[in-house]
Amino acid sequence: MTLRSSLRRHWPEYLIEGTLLGLFMVSACGFTVLLAHPQSPVPHAIASGDARRALIGVAMGLTAIALIYSTWGQRSGAHMNPAVTLTFLTRGKVKSWDAVCYIAAQFLGGMSGAGLSKLLLGVTLAHPAIHYAVTIPGPAGAWPAFFAEAAMACGMMTMVLFVSNTPRLAPFTGCFAGLLVAFYITFGAPLSGMSMNPARTFGSALASGTWTGLWIYFTAPLLGMFAAAALHQCLSAAPNAGCAKLHHGARQRCIFCGYPGPKTPARPHLASASDIRKDSLTGATQ
């Protein structure tokens, strides 16, 4: 498939991918302002910075869950992260031009979401306590941030690969992802800002003009997720099964495994998400 044909056939998924990350960025900026800005009522009611960071984690975890299970998220697969897309590309679950377009859309979405937040929130978002929700290394320095990002990314992708390919657990992959986002922000943000996402970091960096440690967020998530894919390849009983979607509903087409959607009678037996996942495990969707 050429770039032109990919754009013509799959442009809705590309547009959705960018929009989803843009919405995630707007949510991240908005909740950070609400829960951390000195003029917000929340810091006066909750003095503990650790407790407020945990609340930010919960808010962003719920945001991730909402986006993954939304109609749009089920359509595109809700990668929202170049590292996720590239990992699935290396496993043969995403075609090359689809990966290129997904990654381009994700970066555009990250920049657009940060830019829109800057436009809407203005100087509030620029306050030092918020600083455009940038992800930069914590006081411990660059290398602890690097290893934290790699470990968190490895943990996230390990969960996605094993849970999404376990029929009974597959429908809850998005919930587990949201829980990990909340956990990582609560405990990992002091080390690295908790990104796991090159496009998310680049969006905030562009809006703020702060490029500190950018190399960390372009390399560590990739290394961590690639390591998770290698681990899954070694340990899984069906390492080549499954699809590249985080939540494979039955009401949306899939550009990865070829599921045409409910309006096409070619796969009438796929009546539920669990059926789709079982077919993936047996190689029916390959």
Mind listing the pLDDT tens digit for each residue in 153-206? 999 999 999 999 999 999 999 999 999 999 999 999 999 999 999 999 999 999
Q: Which has the higher per-residue pLDDT, 9 or 266? A: 9
Which residue bears the tokens 């919960």?
58
CB 81 within 8 A of CB 181: no
pLDDT tens-digit series, residues 194-219: 999 999 999 999 999 999 999 999 99
Please state the separation of Cα 67 from the chain's center in Å.
10
Mean pLDDT of the chain: 92
Which residue bears the tokens 């919405």?
23
* Cβ neighbourhood burial of 169 (10 Å; 0-12, 13-18, 19+): middle
CATH classification code of 3-281: 1.20.1080.10
The model's pTM = 0.90
How far is 215 from 27, CA to CA, in rounded Å?
25
pLDDT attached to residue 275: 52
pLDDT attached to residue 262: 81
How far is 268 from 250, CA to CA, in rounded Å?
10
Q: Which residue from 176, 286, 273 is spatially nearest to 239, judged by alpha carbons? A: 286
